[in-house]
Structure 1
């Protein structure tokens, strides 16, 4: 995730870190090059390279903008929902700290909180494709077994154990929601339709501008391509909130925050270092 202050107006035009320009510049150059070829061909071979009526381009551009906005909104909702579920993971882990104060100085509390630390890091690696689903489930099941054993031994009342199981249930529900987001992308047919329409529109756009704008047509076509391809690329990044891309969620920082909170509650001093942004990117 990009962590940086809002740049100045001049700085906006020179920032590349976290910008989709690094992804879409080949498409922009292709559209710009086609625009130059159309302008030159129209000037030298007007009988063969003719301009088109710009009116349909305006209508198609409006429709395409609306479709791209809908897709971006849907992808941002996925990103924000993922952030909310990780918020629940952090909150529920801290709830367990307060709910286990009656077990203070007992080995069951240390075992329970350490199982949640393991759970948090396994969820991180699972969502990034570096561990299996069953491992995080097993860590959470281990926490439930510890609570059940403490209840059977009389160290927890039935009500206290029930409250802890409710917190573990919230952790399980948030994990399932994150798995759903990770394993169910935006329907491919919808994305494919927008990809095709955006490419076709931007490729033929110089033909609609060449009569009215002349030599400026390639520049305008390039700017339109930047907007459309940029929105498309940004939506693709937001669609995958758990990836390693720069605009994805900082799962390592979230899992480390949980670990620090739980270890501090146990009085441990060997706390991990909270990850910091490197080149404005927090992982």
Structure 2
């Protein structure tokens, strides 16, 4: 079993970008088991169940999203676990806290998209949302592009100001004010009503839509999806819970893994707006869990979990 502090100690955040890029490439080459998704509403929250296999191991994640937890319990809104199994025998090999893994692998996936789809000189980043994912995204994107300016926007003005000060960023009063100045826009909100349209982003921008990971969530307006080239993490999953779910006739240029491996072309011009529909896949969880397992075994970290005693 691995705890949150052990997860944070075993792999640095910067290690996740290459790790997740390799996982997307493996998926594109059909070297993984299919990524599967289940969703369960449990008012006032919801559960996400994701499963996939990579190399010789299978990972299953159960994530609970209850946005009233900070107010009612004083705890983060997202909590969960990952179980890692030997794919040839079914034997469980590791049990670990999932929110930390999810935060780091999600930011890494966005960084992979930025690496392959953002303009080479992209230097201004807009982050829409100030929750748990925001800081991780700023750090991951700074690793792959020369970001000189970060602009943040959130629904809570006071929280946005505090976040901006803490992360050496500028705060914006509206989503438009932040996005319209940026080369890379990352949307990280649990919105159910879309708030970002084509008039809010500049030509050539990459928009990473991360918040839509359930059928009711949506951040991008129809006009933005219609005007942009759409790249998905996993197309069938985006059609179930992502931005693609709300505009299913939107043409998909490629999955990110196909672009990583050169099987498909990404950006076609410097003025093209590209949207990356990021729903978060179990392939990412499997890759991260395997790397953590290998590091834990090598360093003698973690502790036995005596389930069968």
TM bin, normalised by shorter chain, reads under 0.3
Greater relative contact order (CA < 8 Å, ≥ 6 in sequence): 1
Question: Which protein has the bigger helix share?
Answer: 1
TM-score for the superposition, normalised by structure 1? 0.23
TM-score for the superposition, normalised by structure 2? 0.21
